[in-house]
Amino acid sequence: MSADPLGLAGAPVLVAGATGRVGGAVARAFAARGAEVVVHGRNGRSTGALADALTAEYDVRAHPLTAGLTSPDAPRVLRAGLAAAGVDRLAVLVNCVTGYDGLPRPTAELTAAEFRAVLETDLVAVHTLVTTVLPLLAASGGARVVLLSSLAGVRGRQAAAHLCAAKAGVAGLTLALAHDLAGQGVRVNCVAPGPVQEPGVTHAGPLGPGVAPNTPDEVAGCVLALASDLSGPVNGHLQVVNGGRP
């Protein structure tokens, strides 16, 4: 067997939303496999600290990239940041950015502004991100894109219409991109986790059938699998991560 069965050693990877719980776990999972990781976030101090930590812990190249993905200026800032880091191709793009605050909002109380804000961050910005870095993905030959949806976008969730709509849209966008980008050698897949919590924390309240909590590392493992050489034949797939509960 190859010493690098995942094919990630030295691979340039962009993790958008890397300063969040899941995004941080994803960035560390790639760094642990020897990837060169660009960590994106909205806060320059947090992204810089994470990049420094990855370099120190895993002895890999890691670069901070600060940008707000919903800004009209986002494409320019993303391109400039990647160029400044010396990144001229991307083997993997993972999007973990979310604007959902986790607070329940019954439909009757959900304002149009709240609904639109989550769609802008969780769906529209994903399209912006992918199209902006597409030339770098195409330059790699066989690049992989992994987008994060949510189990809420597959099965629904009470008092979360904005989250459900946005994440269902991400699943649909995944299918469209898989068709559109296949000719450029770019595979696009999607991970849809259920509730994510830290180990040792008990989830309050019933989760419903087929739903169980996941840790950030468990979600990161599924992302890693879809981003690796082991998933070569997989394209346009939505992987539900439900804590092992059928």
Report pLDDT digits (tens) over 43-97: 999 999 999 999 999 999 999 999 999 999 999 999 999 999 999 999 999 999 9
Report pLDDT digits (tens) over 128-168: 999 999 999 999 999 999 999 999 999 999 999 999 999 99
The per-residue pLDDT for 91 is 98
Whether the CB-CB separation of 18 and 24 falls below 8 Å is answered with: yes
Whether the CB-CB separation of 162 and 114 falls below 8 Å is answered with: yes
pTM of the model: 0.95
Q: What ranges do the domains of the chain cover?
A: 12-241
Residue 113 predicted with pLDDT over 80: yes
Residue 205 predicted with pLDDT over 70: no
CA distances from 39 to 23, 34, 44, 135 (A): 9, 14, 10, 19
pLDDT band at 197 (very low <50, low <70, confident <90, very high): confident
Q: Which helix (H) or strand (E) holds 13?
A: strand 12-16
Superfamily the domain 12-241 falls into = NAD(P)-binding Rossmann-like Domain (3.40.50.720)
Residue 204 predicted with pLDDT over 70: no
Whether the CB-CB separation of 147 and 173 falls below 8 Å is answered with: yes
Residue 212 predicted with pLDDT over 80: no
Q: Which helix (H) or strand (E) holds 139?
A: helix 125-140
Tell me what percent of the residues of the chain surpass a pLDDT of 90: 87
Strand arrangement of the beta sheet that strand 92-95 belongs to:
62-66, 36-41, 12-16, 92-95, 144-148, 187-193, 238-241
The per-residue pLDDT for 86 is 97
